[in-house]
Structure 1
């Protein structure tokens, strides 16, 4: 594992909610919060979703999406291609009380589906420094009129798996 993947895993593990941005048929962007259901990132992100829904209609028309997550440790911006999956084994593996709250018919609800995002690249901002250090860097930046060094950022490009 590289330092970059360690950063990605740490931020994703700390985050509970992701914001998934799709493009509508008219070309406008629409962002929605979805629960992070797996934090062991291997190049693919998974989310429960209802299908049919406006989100799955957007993806059928424009499968390119952005997924962003963040917390006090940092931020991640995933760019990738989304599709809808009805893989029952995976649905069973990921099923949890949180998911059951959104589907009246439980696991057997005909609307239960998974949103699969195959990630092309990840832009990360690692802010996992103590608050006192971040505060010092901001004050230093103000006094020296330079950008504060509050963390590290970078881009990880994944191999084309399609």
Structure 2
């Protein structure tokens, strides 16, 4: 029996995305390199409320930041495997010089990458302005495993593997 799913509102989808972003320590930020290849790097998620913008701290001298300066279209992916929740955000990267925002996001843990601390000349604030996003969520691993096993046995597609919603910003 197929279940009819009511799609969440745009605001609810954004809240679901924000919860994943807040709870995942590292994101994968994908840029396009000079030779046209997609390259992903792990980045530390900044503890700010998701409002359509995602913030990172990078190094001005890195290939990743240089790629964003030349080609600002990027993708940021988050995965919370334990909760079966995933987010993908496409957007435009902006290299920002904002001392107040840097102070808000800075942690002494960054000294491992920037020996000069917050005043290190290589520190670069990166703002990703979301243009679109996608959220996937499931009710749990056990339910998904059951749905997949039933599909394998019956030869019929699984009917309820969770939710998948897209949103434009």
| Partner residue in 1 for 2:15 | 6
1:18 aligns with 2:45: no
The structural deviation recorded for 1:29 is 1.2
| Partner residue in 2 for 1:83 | 94
Equivalent pair of 1:44/1:116 in contact (CA under 8 Å): yes
In structure 2, relative to structure 1, the CA distance for the partners of 1:147 and 1:39 (3 Å cut) is: farther
The structural deviation recorded for 1:77 is 0.8
Equivalent pair of 1:86/1:112 in contact (CA under 8 Å): no
Equivalent pair of 2:73/2:93 in contact (CA under 8 Å): yes
Give the alignment's TM-score, normalised by structure 2: 0.86
Equivalent pair of 1:12/1:39 in contact (CA under 8 Å): no
Show structure 2 runs of 5+ residues with no match.
1-9
Task: Give the secondary structure class of the aligned counterpart of 1:99.
Answer: helix
Equivalent pair of 1:67/1:78 in contact (CA under 8 Å): yes
Superposed, 1:32-51 pairs within 5 Å as 32-51=41-60
| Partner residue in 2 for 1:123 | 134
The structural deviation recorded for 1:6 is 2.2
Greater Rg by CA: 2
Task: Give the secondary structure class of the aligned counterpart of 1:2.
Answer: helix
Task: Give the secondary structure class of the aligned counterpart of 1:83.
Answer: strand
The structural deviation recorded for 1:5 is 1.7
Equivalent pair of 2:108/2:117 in contact (CA under 8 Å): no
| Partner residue in 1 for 2:151 | 141
| Partner residue in 2 for 1:150 | 161
Alignment partners' CA distance in 1, 2:132 and 2:86: 14
The structural deviation recorded for 1:37 is 0.8
The structural deviation recorded for 1:148 is 5.2
Superposed, 1:97-112 pairs within 5 Å as 97-112=108-123
Task: Give the secondary structure class of the aligned counterpart of 1:56.
Answer: helix
1:28 aligns with 2:40: no
Aligned residues: 157
Alignment partners' CA distance in 2, 1:10 and 1:148: 25
1:96 aligns with 2:120: no
